[in-house]
Every structure is written in C-alpha cells, then in structure tokens.
Structure 1
Amino acid sequence: MHWTVRLDGGPRRVNHAAVAIGDKVYSFGGYCCGENYDTRQPIDVHVLDSVTYRWRSLPQLDVDCETAPYQRYGHTAVEYRGKAYIWGGRNDIDGASGLLHEYDPVSNSWRLLPTMGRAPPARDGHSACVIDDLMVVFGGFEEEFQRFSQETFVFNFRTNRWSELKTFGVAPAWRDFHTATAIGRRMYVFGGRSDQLGQFHSSRDVYFDKLKYLDLADTTWYEPDVFGDRPSGRRSHSAWCYRDKLYIFGGFSGALNRHFDDMYEFDPVPSRWTKINPVGLGPTARRRQCTVLVGRRVFLFGGTKPSRAPKTNPLTLQNNPLADLSDLFVFDYAPSLKELAAMTVLNSGQYETLVSCLPRDLRNDLQLMTQPNRISGPREELYG
C-alpha cells in the first residue's frame, strides 16, 4: 500500500461530497473561506480525471435552483447506474434541504427527482450509501427540530419512494458527521458526534469509537465484538470499502482537540481492526475531506487542517485556527512496477537530472504526477 501522488491546486472545498463514475471523480459543492454563498447559486461541480490527475470546473448549464441543488455543504452524494444523487446539506441563507436531485454526467445536467412516500426531515451531516436498489440514509442533524437523528430512511430507486426503515436491535446513538459504508448487504457506521444529553445539542460533545452495522437481510442493528488496534472516536473522517474491508482515515475529536492523519482497516471476517502505515508521504492531519475509490486507488482531496499561520494574523482565532485545503493525494493498494519506478525517481532528489534521460511517455507520466492543478491558488484562509 502506497501514497503515490501528491498535488495541490485542486478545488478548495470543505464538507463537499463526491462519487466515482467510470474513471472520473465528480465533486459537488462544499464551501471555501472567503467565497460568497449569500445567493441561491447552483451547486458547483468539479471533475477529476483519475488517469491524468487533472481537475476541471464544469460550467453550470442550468441556473434554475429548483432543477439544480443550491450551493451547500454537509450533503451526501451517491452513484447509482451511472448518475449521481445529491440529498440534504445546507447553507447559511437557505438552510437545509430535503429535496433529492439527480446529476447526469453525460449531459452535465440536473433534474429534481419526483419522489413519493415519507422523506427524511431536511438535515446535514448525515450519511448515505447504496445497497442493491436502495439509498440508505442514517443520522445527521435535523434543522427543523434542532436534533441529532438516529433514524434510518431508505429511498428505492426503482419506485422513487422514500420510507422510514423499521429496524430491530439497538440503533447507533444520535449523531452527525459519522460515516456509513456498505459491505455486501450490511451498512457499517463508525464515529460521529453526539451530545451528552442525547438527541438535542447542548455543546457537550460525545465522540463514538464503537462500530455498528445494519444488516438489511433482517433490518437489525448489530454491534460486533472487535479485536486489534481500533481507532479512537472522531467525526468528519473518511471511510470506504475495498475488497470487503472497511478503511477509515483522518477526522477530528473535539474531546481531544485533535485532528488525525491515521488510517485503519477493519476486516469483518475476524472482526479485527488494524492500523495501516502506508509507504510514502501521506496527507496532513485533517477533517471534512472526501475520499473516492476508483479501481484499486483511493483519491483523497480537500478538507481542513490546523493552521500554522502566526498568532498575530488578524484572521486567526486564538483557540483553534483552521486552513482549508486544495490538495489531492492518491492511495494505491497495488501500484504497478512502472508506478513504483516513477516514485523512486521522484523521491531520489535527482528528478531534474534523471528526467531528461527517460523516454517521452515516462516524462509525461512524471509531469502529470508533479504538475499542480490550477483550480485554486496557493493561498491559505482562516476561519473558525
């Protein structure tokens, strides 16, 4: 397992959402310090070519905010049959959304999906994953009732119908900014933030380290007995599935006032957590980033990290200043011999000398692996 590519200059985004469609990564929305979200502008779309590592900002062909979702953060995006589906999220003007939007990458167009049944209350910080023909939505922070959720809703893509799923067993406690990852017909929930007083927010945060899963075969929640080196409680981390194993990276614990840069693997068969130490230079400690699996590679981008700006900076908050990020990292489970050789050249300290001796196609590959994108500039912004 290797970190193989590290590039800056991509979209500077926090609490965005992304999916893979084919060999492209589509990133939707999020926010960036200094940008204006006071109008009902359509959500922005950035696309990453996983072969060339180049980002593009797609033009908004439809400016109708009923057809296209308005700009937001804390939403979810899932892929189903070659299209992306955006649900939930909020911004500071329009609040949270309870509408479901469909994005077609072929035509770069949106449509508001007509739905039936009982949809979940509008929220952000929830999770969503696809199992069979269902989008399963869990948790989040409901805006209307100002409460954390522990309910499970499903949207059936075949019937366009929402329903609340009746579950058995003990559901995970009320929470937001957790992760939910599908492995087979199970949805594994890890982490997130809740409150010592339960479902209503009093700023007495609790961070969860227990793993639970919902088995759709019997709609029952289970808490497996786990072994090994398990991760500490956190929120705003990333999670994905590769070859029927769960992986998590990063996140933040307010109880510890700590950002994480660690990676863990959970294997459901022995029910064991293992801390992973990949080869190569990985991401800095961060939260609110995106991770998307394409083939055997994971693309990690954006998020926030603790700022190293001097305390005298007028934009700095004294307690915990943060900086938003525009970088991209690639994590490869099985890099090819060619990719390992390219990494050796890049890490040799003699790249400028060696590159002129290489064949043109290898020089082009190395250029793509080292040339920054130009979506965002190199600035660092601070906010609380």
Structure 2
Amino acid sequence: MENRNLRYQDFLTLKVDTKHKHNNGEFLWEEVKTAGPHPSRRSYHSSVMWNHKMVISGGQDLREGTQSGIWVFDFNSMDEEHWEELNIIGIGVFCRHSSVIYRDNLYIFGGTDGINEFDTTWIIDLNTLQTRKLDPQTLGLPPPLDSHTATLYEKDGLSQMVVFGGFKYSERTNDLYILNLSSLEWRKISTNNGPEPRSNHSAVIYNDFLFIFGGLNGEGEQIGDFWKLNLNTYNWQSIQAGGQIPAARSGHSAIVYSDLMVIFGGTKCVNRETNEMFSYSFENNMWVRFQDEQQVKDPVSAAQLEEFKHSETSPHRRHTLNIAIGPKKDGKKEASPTIERFAMKKKLLYDGPPSPVKGRVKGNAPHQRDGHSAVIDGNIMYIFGGDRHQMPFNDIYAYRLSKDIISRPGEIDLKTS
C-alpha cells in the first residue's frame, strides 16, 4: 500500500480523476493511522464535527460492555493527527444516544447503559469542558430513549435539536421531540401519520425537511422505507424515489454533501454487514449506488474467526444489548435471567501488534460494518468505529467526495442490490 502524508488543506483540494474506474473506490478511500492514545473499540457511539475535529462520545463493545469517555480527533494537521481524551467527569457510561454540536457546545441526549434507558440532556462546552445537564423536571422532556436520531435544524435565528424514533420503555417509537437550543425547552411535536416506529435508522436535514431512511421495525426486522418531514408544517410524506434503491438496512450512516445524501454501510440482516455506498439526489429524487460491496481482507484468518466463535469468550455467551434485555420493571429494563454474565479471561479477536504505518494510507477501504458514525468536513467524509459480526472497530477512514462520481453508478450487478 502506498503511504502518504499530506497537509489537511492539500487533502481537501486534491483533484479527482473522474475517468478512474471508481466501483472499487480504492483511490478515494484513505485509512487514517495514528500513534499514541486512542479510544477503545466501540459501536453505537455518536460523533460530530467541530472546528475540523471529530468528537466521539460513548459507545458499546458487546464483550466489554458500555463505554465511557469523550474523545477528539484533530484533522487540522495531517502530519500530527492524533486522538485526545477530554477530562470530563460525571457523565458515566452510555451508548445508543445522540448528539449535535451548536456554538462550541456538545448536546448529548438519551442512550442506555445496557440496562436502563436515559432521558438525560448533557451540555458540554468543548472550550472550557464545563458540563451541565438539564433539570429532570424540565417541561416537555422526552421519556428515556435510545437508538434514536438527533439532527441540528437552524432557520431564521432559531436552532433546534430534532429527535426522532428509537426505543421508549423497551418498545420502538415514532415520536418526534424538539429541543430549543436557546431556551433549552423541550416539546413533543404532533404530526400526521408518518413512518412506523423504528430504531437504528438514519436521519439528515436538507433545507426545511427531515429525511428518515431505514432502521429496525417493531419486530426487529430491517426496513428500507424513506420519508421526509416538513419542519414548518410537521407533515410527513413517503418518498417514492427512482434509481438504484438501497436494500433494507439498519445501523448505517448518512451525511449531506451538496444536494446529495450519502449513506454508508449498515447491516441487512443478522451478521450481514455491508460497506456499499449510495447517494440520493434531493433535487432529482433518484438513488445511485456508486460503490459496490467490497471484500476487505480481515486482520484475522477464517480459522481464527471460527476458533473465536466457539471459544467460551464468544460474545454469544455474554449479556448483550437488545439480545439480553428483558421485561420492564418500574419503567426500567432488566437483564434477561436466561443469559448470564461470565467472568472469563479476556480474549480479543482483532487485537494485535500496533501498525508500524502512520499517516494516511491510500487505497484502504473500511470493512463491512454497522453501528459506526460518519461526519463531513468540506468534501471529506470520515468514518469511525462500528462493528462486524459483533466485533467492534476503532479505526478511521477518510473518503474524498466528488459530486460527479457519487452521482453516477459504479460498475455493479444491480441484481444484488
């Protein structure tokens, strides 16, 4: 693999050879490798982009449990890219929450510690690291939620955190809540009939509309419907788009670039993660699959994977989220009595010696995954973490977006979409 180091602004302005055969995406992906401290492996965390820095919080490792901490990755200098953990005390462990960034403040809502869901709203000043949370008696506060989405909507001087769907008292919901980021007042929004209840979907805002795609329905099945909500009238509308429509999925990511929505990865069914990529044109109402699913070489052999699956440290014998969550008691979820926690010697599948390569490695594409996060800075999309076959990652990949490329199909077999 070619290893190259570039200054941040150089990477943003690199010209794209649109004549290149782009279906494998190799020349558009770069793996970001660093030395020094870094977050533990995790999925179902949250991430935002702040001053050319990616800020991640929380997450889960199905073997090690729910994760704590807020980490910042600095993209400003490509020669010295690095992770830094923020010294923030008191927020505990959490995953499957949501977050937005507004005026240097990180707003975190909801989530779960694996047993209980939260209705907590944290506000963290990323400059001073001062932390506070809204009074639990705040008028209009949503109920405890996890596996929902939150997006930032700004118009006419009004900034709002828009929360949709997720788990509420162990059942999926399609409720809509909005937090006014100036007054810090929550309110539940009444809408017309819209999407069915869901979790692990994606949500983005374009102009005055909230776009919802996919997720898991009330039966825990992947769905592939597509909706938009008018944020002025709060009316839902089902979107019947054309083109190469993505298969049903959950745990995928979505970002907005120009007048396009870009989705990456997700899982189509149990242990069927993907790393394919689609774009949706808000203007033309058309889907395009511009990157086919890629088989990326695993850091472990097939024999090692089978050994791990059948070892007594397999995650299938651990208490895991959404697998070992039992009935409610006093409004809280309990661990299922049929699945126990084992005090076992730690055995990590993807652990190994640190990579001797630092900087950007051109041509390295991400593994298939779900539960990752995606952020965008300029024309660069960054992917962090997620998991594959219930084993999490803590890697970072950069994808250089070109509207010309992501608006036209790759060379793919449409029958497999």
| Interval containing the TM-score (normalised by the shorter chain) | 0.7 to 0.9
Aligned equivalent of 2:199: 176
Shift in Å, 1:257: 4.6
Distance across 2 between alignment mates of 1:130 and 1:265? 21
Aligned equivalent of 2:400: 332
Distance across 2 between alignment mates of 1:116 and 1:191? 31
Aligned equivalent of 1:305: 388
Aligned equivalent of 1:19: 48
Q: 1:296 is matched by which residue type in structure 2?
A: N
Aligned equivalent of 1:60: 87
Contact 2:73 2:82 in 1 (8 A): yes
Percentage of matched positions with identical amino acids? 25
Q: Secondary structure at the match of 2:28?
A: strand
TM norm structure 1: 0.73
Aligned equivalent of 1:127: 149
Distance across 2 between alignment mates of 1:157 and 1:268? 27
Q: Secondary structure at the match of 1:208?
A: strand
Q: 2:183 is matched by which residue type in structure 1?
A: T
Contact 1:227 1:273 in 2 (8 A): yes
Distance across 2 between alignment mates of 1:36 and 1:223? 37
Aligned equivalent of 2:347: none
Aligned equivalent of 1:157: 181
Contact 1:3 1:281 in 2 (8 A): no
C-alpha change, 1:190 and 1:229, in structure 2 (3 Å) is: same
C-alpha change, 1:244 and 1:83, in structure 2 (3 Å) is: farther
**Two-structure CA RMSD over aligned residues (Å):** 2.2
Shift in Å, 1:36: 6.0
Matched ranges for 1:70-219 at <5 A: 70-92=92-114, 95-114=116-135, 116-132=138-154, 133-143=159-169, 146-168=170-192, 170-195=193-218, 204-219=219-234
Structure 2 residue 278 is the aligned partner of structure 1 residue 277: no
C-alpha change, 1:106 and 1:194, in structure 2 (3 Å) is: same
TM norm structure 2: 0.67
Contact 1:21 1:83 in 2 (8 A): no
Matched ranges for 1:198-347 at <5 A: 204-254=219-269, 257-277=271-291, 280-306=363-389, 322-334=390-402
Aligned residues: 298
Structure 2, gaps ≥5 residues long: 1-15, 17-26, 293-361, 404-417
Shift in Å, 1:57: 3.3
Shift in Å, 1:226: 0.5
C-alpha change, 1:150 and 1:36, in structure 2 (3 Å) is: closer
